[in-house]
Amino acid sequence: MSGVVPLLDAADTSLFGSKAVGLGQALRDGLPVPPGVALAGDVVDAVAGRDEDAIRRVAEAVQGLQGSLAVRSSAVDEDGADASFAGQHLTLLNVRGADELTAAVSDVWWSANSDSAITYRQRVGLFTRPSVGVVVQVLVDPETAGVMFTQNPVTGADERVIEASLGLGEAVVAGRVIPDHYRVSRDGAVLERTAGRKDVAFRSLPEGGTFEEQVPADLVETLCLDDGELAELGRLATRCERVYGPARDIEWAIAGGTLYLLQCRAVTRAGT
């Protein structure tokens, strides 16, 4: 087994996958990423096979991570230029305890080896054995979260597009709410703010997993980001572009007043 490393040290895409290496690079560049651990594909394979040595190594590596965990796939060929496995490969939130972590890593392995993932692989000409890295991170418990495009993905305009909702960002990513919509110029001027309809918020359960909470009526159509938070998101966009290049698709969260970067990848459909 070649790899269980702090996320900060994840640098080899062929071992850890693009998500882990992208987050590792973000940490190395001082971006505000929650701490975590990267598991190489062979370690994930061994954990899924209930190899005791691999399970012990992973358990030791995550001992320093406080609170509940997010377990995300980081397949080696995930988010490639011609193929995106988003929707096939799994993310599990609010994972607690060693047994649940082993089961979550196993679930991620199977998500990359599911019928739907294999069908997708056949369709895009990637009919090879999936190698699935995993990122285990501290799960932030956000007041607000969402996505941000550093360049308008629809018009291609040089402006930030931000979508935000209450609670965990999965409500936005999974399309469970109409998020608040903002457009912010590169120099920080707010060009548009449109309240969405945020009926539900995803929250962590004390015993693990998540649930959908009904949002109080007075907050459903109330904007959830203020000018200070929009300015901070704009600064994050600038820093991400400096590190990764233009046209980034960012997942973010604000927890305890701190802005976190959860994921940063290239916008694959700009202008369409």
What is the Cα–Cα distance from 69 to 67, expressed in whole angstroms?
7
CB atoms within 10 A of CB 115: 8
Q: Which residues pair with 261 in a beta bridge?
A: 252
Query: Please, which residue, 2 or 116, has the CB nearer to another protein?
Result: 116
Closest contact distance (angstroms) between CB of 114 and another protein is: 6
Query: Please, which residue, 75 or 224, has the CB nearer to another protein?
Result: 75
Number of residues that bind another protein (CB under 8 A): 19
Does residue 48 bind another protein (CB under 8 A)? yes
Query: Please, which residue, 127 or 226, has the CB nearer to another protein?
Result: 127
Collect all residues with Cβ–Cβ distance below 8 Å to 124 and sequence separation of at least 6. Answer: 82, 83
> What is the number of alpha carbons within 13 Å of residue 136 lying toward its C-beta?
32
Closest contact distance (angstroms) between CB of 48 and another protein is: 5
Look at residue 19 and give its three-state secondary structure: helix
Supply the angle between the helices 52-61 and 41-48 in degrees, to the nearest 10. Answer: 120
Q: Do residues 250 and 237 lie in contact, with contact meaning Cβ atoms separated by under 8 Å?
A: yes
Closest contact distance (angstroms) between CB of 122 and another protein is: 5
Query: Please, which residue, 114 or 152, has the CB nearer to another protein?
Result: 114
Closest contact distance (angstroms) between CB of 249 and another protein is: 28
Site mask, another protein, residues 117-156, x = CB under 8 A? xxx--x----x-xx--------------------------
Does residue 50 bind another protein (CB under 8 A)? yes
Which residues within the stretch 95-124 sit at the binding site for another protein (CB under 8 A)?
A: 103, 106-107, 109-110, 113-119, 122
Whose CA is closest to 259, among 89, 238, 244? Answer: 238
CA 120-5-247 angle, 5° bins? 50
Query: Please, which residue, 18 or 88, has the CB nearer to another protein?
Result: 88
Give the range of 46-54, 59-67, 191-199, 223-231 binding another protein by CB under 8 A.
46-54
Q: Which residues pair with 183 in a beta bridge?
A: 161, 192
Supply the angle between the helices 98-112 and 41-48 in degrees, to the nearest 10. Answer: 110
Which residues of this protein are in contact with another protein, per CB under 8 A?
48-50, 103, 106-107, 109-110, 113-119, 122, 127, 129-130
